[in-house]
C-alpha cells in the first residue's frame, strides 16, 4: 500500500545524510560569521544522547535569519519557508536542517546563541546548546495536544547527570512543568 506523503508524518533519514547536512550547514554559517548554535536532537547527541533520525536543528537570531538562509542557499541547500513563522528549513539531498529563530514563541537572541559551548562535533568546533537548555525547551513545547514523554525519555536518561532540575524548574518560572511533570527538587504546583 502506498502512503500519501502529505500525511505520512516524519520520515527517517540515514545518519550519514544528516551528519553531512550538519557539517555542511555549520561550516557554511561558520565561514560567513553568522552566529548559530547546534540545538535539538543533535545537540543532545553531542552531549551523549542517542543520535536523531529525523533532522538537524540549528538556532540563529531573528536578525540573522535572512543572512543564514542566503548563506545556506549559496552552499547548495534548498530553502523552504513553511507556514509556521519560527523556522526555515534547509534541505540537502534527503536531509533537512531546521533553522529556528524562535523557540516556544521566544525569539532566539545573542545571549542564547552566546551561551552555547564550543564542542567538537563530527570534526568541527561549533557552538552547541547545553543539554539542560534543549531538554527544557522540549518539555516546555509539550501541550495537551502533543505530550509524548516516551520520545523524550531516551535522551533525558542519557544526559540526566548533566541536567540541573532545579534550574530547569526555575527556567519554567512555575508554568507548565509544575502542573504536569514531576521535576526532582521542584515542588509541585496545585492545579
153-176 pLDDT, tens digit per residue, is 888 888 888 888 887 777 666 555
At the topology level, CATH places domain 15-130 in Beta Polymerase; domain 2 (3.30.460)
Q: What share of the chain is helix, strand, coil (3-state, %, to 5)?
A: 40, 20, 40
Note the pTM of the prediction, 2 decimals: 0.81
Place of cell 509539550: 142
46-78 pLDDT, tens digit per residue, is 999 999 989 999 999 999 999 999 999 999 999
CA quadruple 105, 9, 93, 125: dihedral sign: positive
Element of type H or E holding 100: strand 95-100
Amino acid at each position: 500500500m502506498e502512503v500519501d506523503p502529505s500525511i505520512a508524518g516524519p520520515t527517517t533519514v540515514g545518519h550519514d545524510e544528516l551528519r553531512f547536512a550538519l557539517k555542511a550547514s555549520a561550516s557554511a554559517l561558520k565561514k560567513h560569521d553568522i552566529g548559530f548554535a547546534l540545538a535539538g536532537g543533535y545537540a543532545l547527541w553531542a552531549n551523549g544522547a542517542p543520535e536523531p533520525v529525523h533532522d538537524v536543528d540549528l538556532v540563529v537570531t531573528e536578525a540573522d535569519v535572512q543572512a543564514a538562509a542566503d548563506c545556506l542557499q549559496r552552499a547548495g541547500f534548498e530553502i523552504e519557508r513553511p507556514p509556521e513563522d519560527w523556522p526555515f528549513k534547509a534541505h540537502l539531498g534527503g536531509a533537512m536542517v531546521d533553522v529556528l529563530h524562535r523557540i516556544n514563541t521566544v525569539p532566539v537572541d545573542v545571549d542564547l546563541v552566546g551561551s552555547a559551548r564550543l564542542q567538537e562535533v563530527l570534526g568541527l568546533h561549533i557552538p552547541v546548546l547545553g543539554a539542560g537548555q534543549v531538554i527544557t525547551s522540549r518539555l516546555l513545547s509539550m501541550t495537551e495536544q502533543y505530550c509524548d514523554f516516551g520520545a523524550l525519555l531516551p535522551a533525558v536518561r542519557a544526559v540526566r547527570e548533566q541536567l540541573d532540575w532545579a534550574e530547569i524548574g526555575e527556567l519554567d518560572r512555575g508554568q507548565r512543568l509544575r502542573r504536569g511533570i514531576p521535576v526532582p527538587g521542584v515542588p509541585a504546583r496545585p492545579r
